[in-house]
């Protein structure tokens, strides 16, 4: 018997309530998603030492580089599904859903292959310290054996969230996160296995979360149900998914390349710097939770409301979501600034490694509000079908300018703080660019032509 639908239209009711009630499960979901990486880092750092911690940390930017592209494509799929759901066009919604799943399977298999083949070259290219290179390679390759699980979870999660259901992905993510932590403790703390066990635990947990989401979609009401026999690539839907998702995917990948360049400059300061900055990145991940949950909520909210031609409602919701996100992000940033020494120390490692992480936290954390603003604006633009706007803004500010700044300044001032300042400086520039576009453009009519084309 089919389960009761948990899909939610965000085109009516109080704006603040729709956005917050959708964002809260996203917040908790992102929290438990962060536990995936944090559990690995905490357990590896405390049980296997600084070199093992550096090995896991040095793989982080590369992992985001590999998965960020396909994650961006899933955002595009969510926009397409959300607009048809908002317009109550269930025929096209059904086609978009099955095309999304077929595309996700192809992407997951491709990512698995790339992760195995390209790992040694990329790790060497970014200057991973020789003493941690073999361990980093083991972690990276085992992690990407679970790439299909990761891609399909994000694919299924994007579908459910586009339908206004952020609760079930949260439940499934909690289950998989707890599984990941339990496996880390058993394999590393209990049996004494190396960092490969941490990657294996993550891969198993990703497949579990994907399986739970799949079961939900197979049991959903008929108009939004996934039928395995219908999974195929429908060209018109695939074009819409790619046109909305490719800019976000390219943006994620190019920014990740820039961050790999940043990581390579951190690597120049030795394993202790890599370990300390890696620990800070885990703390930072928690600080970014309100950023990501509101930006994701706004993408769904905007796509549904523009699909239903509720233009004024979309605009009011955009302003509300931005204000909530930047307020929460800054409060967290202030907390990170003052508690950084205690938070970084929790990940283990030498006192010298901790000092690197604290220095990075003190430089960056008070600027979280700027990051929140830029991500929310990117989420709004994607929901409006204008994914190329955040792509160009973030590529220019977070890639070209960030890399150029580091390459030039560190040549004359070879200290690690130069690298740290690259983030707040480029966040400021993207904030200015997004504000100008938001105030001067007619962004709310972005989906009209796409909806019409999809109905032909």
pLDDT per residue over 168-177, tens digit each? 888 888 888 8
pLDDT of residue 36: 64
pLDDT of residue 83: 83
pLDDT of residue 420: 93
- Domain extent at residue 178: 15-451
Mean pLDDT is lowest, of 119-133, 238-252, 273-287, 389-403, for 119-133
pLDDT of residue 438: 83
CB atoms under 10 Å from CB of 167, counted, come to 18
d(CA 392, CA 429): 13
Mean pLDDT of 387-391: 86
pLDDT of residue 393: 93
Tens digits of residue pLDDT in 111-136: 888 878 877 887 777 667 777 778 88
Mean pLDDT of 218-241: 90
Mean pLDDT of 338-344: 90
Residue 415 lies in a domain: yes
Q: Under a CB-based contact definition with an 8 Å cutoff, are residues 154 and 71 in contact?
A: yes
Looking at mean pLDDT, say which of 1-15, 33-47, 160-174, 329-343 comes out highest.
329-343
Task: Extract the tokens encoding 111.
Answer: 């990512």
pLDDT of residue 425: 95
Exposed, middle or buried: residue 7 (CB in 10 Å: 0-12, 13-18, 19+)?
middle
Exposed, middle or buried: residue 255 (CB in 10 Å: 0-12, 13-18, 19+)?
buried
pLDDT of residue 132: 74
Q: List the one residue out of 322, 303, 311, 304 whose CA is nearest residue 434.
A: 322
d(CA 395, CA 415): 25
Region at 256 (left for phi over 0; alpha for psi -120 to 50; beta for the rest): alpha
Residue 456 lies in a domain: no
Q: List the one residue out of 100, 101, 109, 105 whose CA is nearest residue 239.
A: 100
Task: Extract the tokens encoding 35.
Answer: 């536990």
pLDDT of residue 207: 94
Task: Extract the tokens encoding 185.
Answer: 């403790």
- For the chain, the residue count is 456
d(CA 355, CA 345): 9
Residues 6+ apart with CB under 8 A from 1: none
Q: How confident is the model at residue 217 (pLDDT cuts 50, 70, 90)?
A: very high
Mean pLDDT of 320-343: 91
- Asked if the model's pLDDT at residue 61 lies above 70, the reply is no
Q: Considering just the CA atoms, what is the radius of gyration of the chain in Å?
A: 21
Residue 110 lies in a domain: yes
Task: Extract the tokens encoding 197.
Answer: 């066990």
Residues 6+ apart with CB under 8 A from 122: 62, 65, 260
Residues 6+ apart with CB under 8 A from 118: none
d(CA 427, CA 360): 15
Q: How confident is the model at residue 66 (pLDDT cuts 50, 70, 90)?
A: low
Average pLDDT for the chain = 83
Looking at mean pLDDT, say which of 1-15, 92-106, 255-269, 295-309 comes out highest.
92-106
Residue 1 lies in a domain: no
Mean pLDDT is lowest, of 74-78, 93-97, 362-366, for 74-78
pLDDT of residue 456: 44
Backbone angles phi, psi at 310, to 5 degrees: -95, 75
Residue 270 lies in a domain: yes
pLDDT of residue 74: 79
Residue 347 lies in a domain: yes
Q: How far is CA 102 from CA 156, 228, 231, in A?
A: 11, 10, 6
Looking at the 3D structure of the chain, how many domains does it have? Answer: 1
Looking at mean pLDDT, say which of 113-117, 152-156, 161-165, 195-199 comes out highest.
152-156
Residue 138 lies in a domain: yes
Task: Extract the tokens encoding 105.
Answer: 């399977």
Task: Extract the tokens encoding 215.
Answer: 């079961």
Scan for tokens 């290179």, then name that residue.
133
Mean pLDDT of 193-213: 88
- Asked if the model's pLDDT at residue 212 lies above 90, the reply is yes
d(CA 81, CA 235): 15
CB atoms under 10 Å from CB of 203, counted, come to 21
d(CA 261, CA 190): 36
Task: Extract the tokens encoding 91.
Answer: 């025929």
Mean pLDDT of 253-282: 82
Residue 117 lies in a domain: yes
């Amino acid at each position: 018997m089919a389960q009761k639908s948990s899909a939610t239209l965000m085109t009516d009711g109080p704006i603040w309530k729709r956005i917050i009630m959708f964002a809260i499960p996203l917040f908790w979901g992102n929290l438990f998603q962060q536990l995936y990486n944090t559990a690995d880092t905490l357990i590896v750092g405390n049980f296997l030492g600084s070199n093992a911690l550096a090995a896991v940390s040095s793989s982080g930017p590369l992992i985001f580089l590999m998965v960020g592209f396909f994650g961006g494509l899933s955002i595009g799929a969510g926009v397409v599904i959300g607009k048809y759901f908002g317009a109550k066009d269930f025929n096209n919604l059904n086609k978009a859903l099955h095309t999304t799943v077929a595309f996700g399977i192809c992407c997951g298999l491709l990512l698995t292959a790339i992760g195995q083949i390209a790992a040694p070259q990329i790790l060497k290219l970014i200057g991973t310290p020789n003493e941690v290179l073999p361990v980093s390679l083991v972690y990276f390759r085992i992690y990407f054996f679970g790439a299909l699980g990761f891609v399909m979870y994000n694919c299924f999660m994007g579908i459910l969230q586009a339908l206004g259901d952020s609760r079930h992905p949260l439940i499934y993510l909690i289950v998989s996160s707890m599984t990941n932590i339990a496996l880390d403790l058993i394999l590393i703390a209990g049996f004494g296995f190396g960092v490969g066990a941490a990657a294996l635990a993550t891969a198993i947990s990703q497949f579990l979360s994907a399986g739970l989401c799949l079961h939900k979609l197979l049991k959903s009401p008929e108009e939004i149900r996934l039928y395995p026999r219908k999974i195929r690539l429908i060209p018109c839907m695939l074009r819409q998914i790619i046109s909305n998702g490719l800019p976000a995917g390219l943006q994620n990948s190019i920014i990740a390349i820039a961050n790999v360049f940043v990581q390579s400059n951190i690597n120049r300061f030795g394993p202790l710097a890599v370990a300390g900055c890696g620990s800070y990145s885990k703390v930072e991940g928690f600080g970014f939770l309100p950023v990501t949950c509101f930006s994701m909520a706004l993408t769904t909210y905007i796509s549904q409301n523009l699909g239903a031609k509720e233009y004024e409602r979309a605009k009011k919701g955009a302003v509300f979501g931005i204000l909530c996100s930047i307020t929460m992000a800054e409060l967290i940033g202030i907390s990170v600034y003052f508690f950084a020494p205690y938070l970084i120390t929790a990940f283990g490692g030498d006192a010298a490694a901790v000092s690197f992480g604290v220095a990075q936290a003190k430089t960056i954390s008070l600027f979280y509000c700027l990051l929140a603003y830029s991500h929310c604006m990117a989420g709004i633009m994607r929901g409006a079908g204008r994914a190329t706007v955040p792509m160009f803004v973030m590529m220019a500010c977070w890639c070209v300018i960030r890399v150029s700044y580091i390459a030039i300044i560190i040549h004359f001032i070879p200290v690690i703080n130069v690298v740290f300042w690259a983030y707040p400086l480029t966040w400021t520039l993207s904030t200015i660019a997004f504000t100008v576009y938001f105030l001067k453009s007619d962004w709310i009519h972005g989906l009209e032509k796409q909806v019409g084309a999809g109905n032909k």
